């Protein structure tokens, strides 16, 4: 039996009620599809449409464009609750509603907002964000994809790799170099590209260790012509948009990690109560009960760090350090919690009939995706020194 959200003192009464609502939706509408997604590896487009129609794709978007405008704490709650029943549904949802949509909402023209946001928020269209390249991962300033001006158009040429939702996306927010004569940070621009335009192609979808159902793709832009009206923000100011997006992305990823590690923790609790050895439940042995103690401590700490980042984002405060801390701790904790849950559930947990083996595989991705654990540590220490004037 899972923890009752209403018992939490970390959230307001309204936020607790919202959690109850999202949890009920996730268990009713998402959970029944989870096993099929895992077994077939099919992309959950129809499930995402249901999520969008229920109102859970637009927490960061104004009601003017179909969102709820509830903010980052609400997004955190959504991510945790949907991840608890299907990590891959939430990852696919988050790329559309947290990575793609907010930069459009914050920086794009009214015309682009009207054109793209309502469809994205409803879940009728899928979004992605094109940053990582074959030779560019953590070093985003080393980006090589270029957009060359020709009349009132830009011609985009280059490749993007490890793009979640890439082969399924209707729209991609693509970052490209528009001024190669300066450092990439000062010569990068963002554009919305529609994937049915000439010159766009999918090289391949990568096979993954976990997150079955996700599509993580290698994409090619071979002279894709983009009208200048598709530009998001100002010319050569894309790097600031990228940095702004990463704070919300990392906070949402941390919340998702809390969700699927919570699911593993709850499986371990149930197993430790029901499983008997030497004439008593295994929870009575310190080798098991101490694991439970460590797991719940890490789980609560991860949620607290994530909440700190989310509250700062909602308050309009800088959250680069807090978002990085939340992602670092929550994703590392998720690995540890899911593996300890696997240990508690023993041989049963290692079988395909038990979710723990899936959750352990799913959890492994997120100390890599969205910025590695090593990069998070670099960002955290950098922000610490900056805050102190060094």
- Residue-level pLDDT, tens digit, the chain, 390 residues: 456 655 678 999 999 999 999 999 999 999 999 999 999 999 999 999 999 999 999 999 999 999 999 999 999 999 999 999 999 999 999 999 999 999 999 999 999 999 999 999 999 999 999 999 998 877 777 899 999 999 999 999 999 999 999 999 999 999 999 999 998 889 999 999 999 999 999 999 999 999 999 999 999 999 999 999 999 999 999 999 988 888 999 999 999 999 999 999 999 999 999 998 999 999 999 999 999 999 999 999 999 999 999 999 999 999 999 999 999 999 999 999 999 999 999 999 999 989 999 999 999 999 998 889 999 999 999 999 999 999
Contact 332, 347 (CB under 8 A): no
From first CA to last CA, the distance across the chain in angstroms is 49
Known catalytic residue: 245? no
* Annotated catalytic residue within 159, 249, 357, 383: 249
**Helix runs in the chain, H state only:** 13-25, 31-40, 45-53, 72-85, 87-94, 101-107, 110-122, 238-274, 286-314, 320-349, 355-364, 373-387
* pLDDT given for residue 3 in this prediction: 60
267-288 burial string, b = 16+ CB within 10 Å, else e? Answer: bbbebbeeeeeeeeebbeeeeb
Q: Is 238 exposed, middle or buried (0-12, 13-18, 19+ CB in 10 A)?
A: buried
* pLDDT given for residue 7 in this prediction: 60
Backbone angles phi, psi at 362, to 5 degrees: -65, -40
* pLDDT given for residue 185 in this prediction: 87
Which tokens hold the place of 174? 């693509």
Q: CATH classification of 5-125, choosing from 1.10.645.10, 2.70.70.10, 1.10.540.10, 1.20.1070.10? A: 1.10.540.10
Show me where the domains of the chain are located.
5-125, 128-236, 240-387
Contact 313, 247 (CB under 8 A): yes
Which tokens hold the place of 99? 């990575």
User: 240-387 in CATH: which number?
Assistant: 1.20.140.10
Of the candidates 301, 181, 176, the residue with the CA atom closest to the CA atom of residue 232: 176
- The residues pairing with 150 across neighbouring beta strands, listed in sequence order, are 153
Question: Which DSSP string do the residues of 24-48 spell out, in sequence order?
Answer: HHIIIIIHHHHHHHHHH----HHHH
* pLDDT given for residue 184 in this prediction: 85
> How many other C-beta atoms are found inside a 10 Å radius of the C-beta of residue 150?
9
Q: Is it true that 5-125 and 240-387 share their CATH fold?
A: no
* pLDDT given for residue 310 in this prediction: 97
From CA 181, how far away is CA 146, in angstroms rounded? Answer: 12
From CA 338, how far away is CA 138, in angstroms rounded? Answer: 26
From CA 85, how far away is CA 47, in angstroms rounded? Answer: 12
Q: What architecture does CATH give domain 128-236? A: Beta Barrel (2.40)
């Amino acid at each position: 039996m899972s923890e009752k959200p209403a018992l939490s003192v970390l959230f307001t009464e309204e936020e607790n009620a919202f959690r109850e609502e999202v949890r009920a939706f996730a268990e009713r509408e998402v959970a029944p599809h989870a096993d099929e997604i895992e077994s077939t590896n099919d992309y959950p487009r129809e499930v995402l449409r249901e999520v969008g129609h229920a109102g859970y794709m637009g927490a960061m978007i104004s009601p003017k464009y179909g969102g709820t405008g509830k903010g980052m704490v609400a997004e955190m709650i959504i991510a945790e609750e949907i991840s608890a029943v299907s990590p891959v549904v939430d990852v696919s949802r988050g790329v559309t509603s947290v990575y793609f949509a907010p930069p459009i909402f914050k920086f794009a023209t009214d015309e682009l907002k009207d054109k793209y946001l309502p469809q994205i928020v409803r879940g009728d269209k899928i979004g992605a964000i094109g940053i990582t390249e074959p030779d560019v991962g953590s070093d985003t300033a080393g980006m090589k994809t270029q957009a060359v001006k020709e009349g009132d158009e830009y011609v985009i040429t280059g490749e993007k790799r490890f793009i979640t939702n890439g082969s399924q996306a209707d729209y991609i927010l693509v970052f490209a170099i528009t001024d190669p004569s300066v450092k990439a940070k000062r010569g990068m621009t963002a554009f919305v590209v529609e994937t049915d335009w000439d010159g766009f192609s999918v090289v391949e979808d990568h096979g993954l260790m976990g997150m079955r159902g996700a599509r993580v793709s290698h994409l090619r832009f071979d002279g894709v012509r983009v009208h200048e009206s598709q530009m998001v923000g100002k010319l050569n100011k894309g790097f600031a948009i990228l940095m702004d997006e990463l704070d919300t992305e990392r906070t949402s990823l941390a919340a998702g990690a809390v969700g699927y590690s919570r699911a593993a923790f709850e499986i371990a609790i149930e197993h430790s109560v029901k499983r008997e050895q030497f004439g008593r439940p295994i929870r009575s042995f310190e080798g098991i009960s101490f694991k439970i103690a460590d797991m719940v401590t890490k789980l609560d700490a991860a949620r607290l760090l994530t909440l700190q980042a989310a509250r700062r984002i909602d308050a309009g405060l800088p959250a680069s350090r807090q978002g990085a801390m939340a992602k670092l701790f929550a994703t590392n904790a998720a690995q540890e919690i899911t593996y300890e849950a696997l240990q508690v559930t023993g041989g049963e947990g290692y079988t395909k009939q038990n979710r723990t083996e899936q959750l352990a595989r799913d959890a492994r991705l997120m100390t890599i995706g969205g910025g590695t654990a090593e990069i998070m540590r670099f960002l955290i220490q950098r922000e610490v020194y900056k805050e102190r004037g060094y």
